[in-house]
Amino acid sequence: MEMGKKDVIEEKLLRFAAPSLYQKMVEIFLEYNIHSYDIYATVVKQEEGFDLTLRFSQSFSQSATAFVSFGQAKEPDEEITGFFKRTAEKCKNQLISDYYKMIKL
């Protein structure tokens, strides 16, 4: 590496980097009545796939991460579907909690 040149981690929006995976995420989150605007989904490309990060909650302060192979990104399998369902459940609970905190103010 050249001196003065920094390693840049290139985080990309899931919607553009892996459209099939994004669509599956949206479908699953809609089952929990969570809109795609409630989730900030990004990926960082690695040698064998993507590091996926889903951020949610007020100010997107909560997150869930998973590694997704390129094959899973093209055709999401049960492992990825399960990750999305678990994360959607956490997100739903956090949104409910945030809502009750807000109305108490």
- Residue-wise pLDDT for 38-57, tens only, equals 999 999 999 999 999 999 98
| Calpha distance 66→88 (Å, rounded) | 14
Contact 76, 85 (CB under 8 A): no
Give the pLDDT of residue 103. 86
105 pLDDT more than 70: no
Element (H, E) at 94: helix 78-104
* C-alpha to C-alpha distances, 26 to 30, 46, 101, nearest whole angstrom: 6, 23, 26
